[in-house]
Amino acid sequence: MHDDFPAPDITPESRPFWEAAARGTFLIRRCPACGTAHFYPRSLCPICHQAETDWVESPGEGEIYTWTVMRKSPKGPFALGYLTLDEGPRVYVCFRPEDHAGLAIGKRARIVFDPVQGGARMLFATLI
């Protein structure tokens, strides 16, 4: 579906995220000490540094914080931005091509996992 996008680099730390993504599940990390969720996932809580964080499932829904459509690109236009999840963190995402014309700050969108090169899954966002 997005053949011009390479597969994401998977590290031992991020492997559970991508394994869940392959099943269509969006995981974020939450800190048991301060209770906050963050993104991108990491085991050290970047907010309070007090505890090892836990994986939790997220509906991946939220509101567009900012966006841009890159017009000058060999792979054709693509749109990047941040989605503010209802849990708090802002996630850097690529929006699906069919949503380009409708992008606006404040609109609701949802994380989806679409195939990229080699069939791997990468996170994208779509308007809801």
Interface with other proteins by CB under 8 A: which residues? Answer: 4-11, 13-14, 18, 36-42, 45-47, 65-73, 75, 78, 80-82, 85, 88-92, 94, 105, 116, 122-123
Closest distance of CB 85 from other proteins, Å: 8
Among candidate residues 91, 35, 11, the one with its CA nearest the CA of residue 59: 91
CA distance 23 to 20: 5
* Binding at 55: pick from Zn ion, other proteins, none (beta carbon under 5-8 Å per type): none
* Residue 47 makes contact with Zn ion by CB under 5 A: yes
Cα(10)–Cα(106) distance, integer angstroms: 31
Query: Nearest distance from residue 30's CB to other proteins, in Å?
Result: 11
CA–CA gap between residue 109 and residue 85 (Å, rounded): 9
